[in-house]
Amino acid sequence: MLGRRGTLRFLVTPPVAWLALFFIVPLALIAAFSLRAGSGAVGPDEPWLASVDQYAELAGTPAFLRLLGLSVLVAIGVAVLATLLAYPIAYFLAFRAGRRASLYLTLLLVPFAVSYLLRVMAWKLMLGPEGGVNSLLSFLGLTDEPIQLLLYSRPAVIITLVYVWIPFAALPIYAAMQRIDRHQLEAAADLGAGPWSRFWRVTVPLSLPGALVTFFMVFIPTVGEYVTPALVGGTDGIMYGNIIQGFFTRSANWPLGSAMAMTMLVLTLAVVLVGLRAVNLRRVLS
């Protein structure tokens, strides 16, 4: 029979090993590649010379830094929009759906049964010159010709990413609202607070941790997004992740691509830490 310590070790070892093998080791390799001199793919017999030339080249290329800053701004915008649009969905599931909440929650998760690429391609068709959006605008008489801005542009990337993330973004907010003690809302009502007052002074503060989790959960992967910009963004909607992906594939410049990836990682962590410090997470969670 395993003791308590042995059982804990037995349960913890597999996920820790998995995390080390598929997260920590690849991250360490990328960090090592970023400090390698030269360019191109690395062969097993090639010498390994440490250098910061890749970071110097990155710092000396303003176009890369501008695209990184733009990608961060796009990620912040997508995270804010996804959080705001997911909030009413979570509120409805927590306070208005009643016994049908499980059914609606299941319907909310149905898109996850469809491939991510298929969902993005569906929006590519919808935003096209003859897609559903332009056809509806033309039918309503709001436009005389298709709006080209809806496809192969940065707005198309933002629209698609917000759509992709909304179902996932609603879950942390819904979980936070589920933990709200309904007696607090009843007490606020007894003290004369109306529906809007109860919402802004009770529901929003108590569900703010879920909203913060949603924001960062959307922001972090969106910074390095490259699939959606490649499919619906075109050359006008390219993001920083597309450049990194290009250096690892078409250009085969692994050291420079690794340096760009590490720079993006550090900047993303810095934004997250600044955001957590600005909102005083301990006070929010207390």
Tens of pLDDT, residue by residue over 46-57, are 677 788 889 999
The residue segments making up the domain with residue 173 are 64-239
In this model, does residue 63 exceed pLDDT 70?
A: yes
Closest by Cα among 94, 156, 97, 149 to 121: 156
Residue 205 lies in a domain: yes
User: Which of the pair, 55 or 3, is modelled with greater confidence?
Assistant: 55
Q: Indicate the number of domains in the chain.
A: 1
CATH code, 117? 1.10.3720.10
Tens of pLDDT, residue by residue over 214-245, are 999 999 999 999 999 998 988 888 999 999 99
CA 162/CA 127 separation, integer angstroms = 14
Tens of pLDDT, residue by residue over 84-98, are 999 999 999 999 888
Residue 26 lies in a domain: no
Please tell me the predicted confidence (pLDDT) of residue 43: 62
Residue 177 lies in a domain: yes
Residue 162 lies in a domain: yes
Please tell me the predicted confidence (pLDDT) of residue 1: 47
Residue 16 lies in a domain: no
Residue 184 lies in a domain: yes
Residue 261 lies in a domain: no
Q: Name residue 275's amino acid.
A: G
**Cβ–Cβ under 8 Å, residues 220 and 272:** yes
Q: What dihedral angle (degrees, nearest 10) is formed by the CA atoms of 101, 83, 229, 56?
A: -140
Please tell me the predicted confidence (pLDDT) of residue 3: 62
CA 231/CA 104 separation, integer angstroms = 30
Q: Measure CA of the first residue to CA of the last residue in the chain; give whole Å.
A: 40
User: Which of the pair, 280 or 226, is modelled with greater confidence?
Assistant: 226
**Cβ–Cβ under 8 Å, residues 254 and 41:** yes
- Tokens for 243, please give them: 């450049």
Residue 252 lies in a domain: no
Please tell me the predicted confidence (pLDDT) of residue 218: 95
